[in-house]
Amino acid sequence: MLAPGDLIPDVTLADGRGDRVRLRSLRRAPIVLYFYPRDNTPGCTQEACDFRDLHPDFSKLGARVLGVSADSVGSHERFATKHGLPFTLLSDPEHELLEACGAWQEKSLYGRKFMGIVRSTYLFDAEGKLQRIWPKVRVKDHAAEVLAELSGVPVSSAAKKKPAAKKKPAAKKQPAAKKQPAAKKQPAAKKRPAAKKQTAAKKQPAAKKKAAAKKQPAAKKKR
């Protein structure tokens, strides 16, 4: 198992295109060597995409990123093509580099023990000396943490964005002046009931009319 100050193992592995890569020949530039369990699994895919997204920043620092797992060359090629990975993936089916770095360990799941790859990252300087190890990596923000270590920027400021300045609370609007209640309308003067029309003189019943019409008996003529 490697310790800080040790040289990168002198191991040769195949990349996703089948080309042989000798790690010792990669010196003269910092190397980020990250080990992951398996291609196309959720956590491994997220980690690869995080390194992909920050790859331009690693390149500016002259660093080379290498991903390593026990998957085949063909699996690496499909994985890299599917997610547009701009860095090299190395195939280590015999666990040669994994064991040399200490990333091949006993693991347990639901009480069952087995040998497997422990997600971990190793940072080597331009001379091939190990600078730092991240054992049992948690994927979230890991790529940013490695970049911060490489650039010498504190992790707290590199991985975390400054909180945006708090906006001043908007001035409270003055409550609108309450409208004065409209003056109550004076009730309209009640109209006086129209004077009742004098009822026309009741018509005398017809029989009475006749009686009225009878003339007074004429004065008796003088003989």
- The pTM assigned to this predicted structure is 0.68
Residue 198 pLDDT exceeds 70: no
Which residue reads 């994927």 in tokens?
139
Q: Residue 215: is its pLDDT beyond 60?
A: no
Q: Give me the domain span that covers residue 47.
A: 12-155
Write down the residue that tokens 């190397």 correspond to: 31
User: Which pLDDT value is given to residue 111?
Assistant: 87
Question: Is the pLDDT at 16 greater than 60, yes or no?
Answer: yes
Task: Exactly one of 11, 23, 44, 147 is catalytic; name it.
Answer: 44
Termini Cα distance of the chain: 180
Per-residue model confidence (pLDDT) at position 27:
83
Residues 77-93, mean pLDDT to the nearest whole number: 97
Under the banding of pLDDT at 50, 70 and 90, the label for residue 158 is very low
pLDDT in tens, 124-157: 999 999 999 999 999 999 999 999 999 886 544 4
- Residue 195 inside a domain? The answer is no
Mean per-residue pLDDT of the chain: 82
Q: How many domains does the chain have?
A: 1
In a domain, 222, yes or no: no
Mean pLDDT, residues 196-219 taken together: 50
Quick check: is 44 catalytic? yes
Is residue 175 included in any domain, yes or no?
no
pLDDT at 179: 58
pLDDT at 184 over 80: no
Q: What is the pLDDT of residue 170?
A: 55
Q: Dmax over Cα atoms in the chain, in whole Å?
A: 185
Q: Which residue has the higher pLDDT, 43 or 218?
A: 43
pLDDT in tens, 44-77: 999 999 999 999 999 999 999 999 999 999 999 9
State the CATH number of the domain containing residue 40.
Answer: 3.40.30.10
31 occurs within a structural domain: yes
Q: Is the residue at 76 inside a domain?
A: yes
pLDDT band at 1 (very low <50, low <70, confident <90, very high): confident
- Only one residue has tokens 């990596």, namely 137
The per-residue pLDDT for range 96-122, each reduced to its tens digit, is 999 999 999 998 888 889 899 999 999
Asked whether residue 73 is domain-assigned, the answer is yes
Q: Which residues contact 136 (CB under 8 A, 6 or more apart)?
A: 118, 119, 120
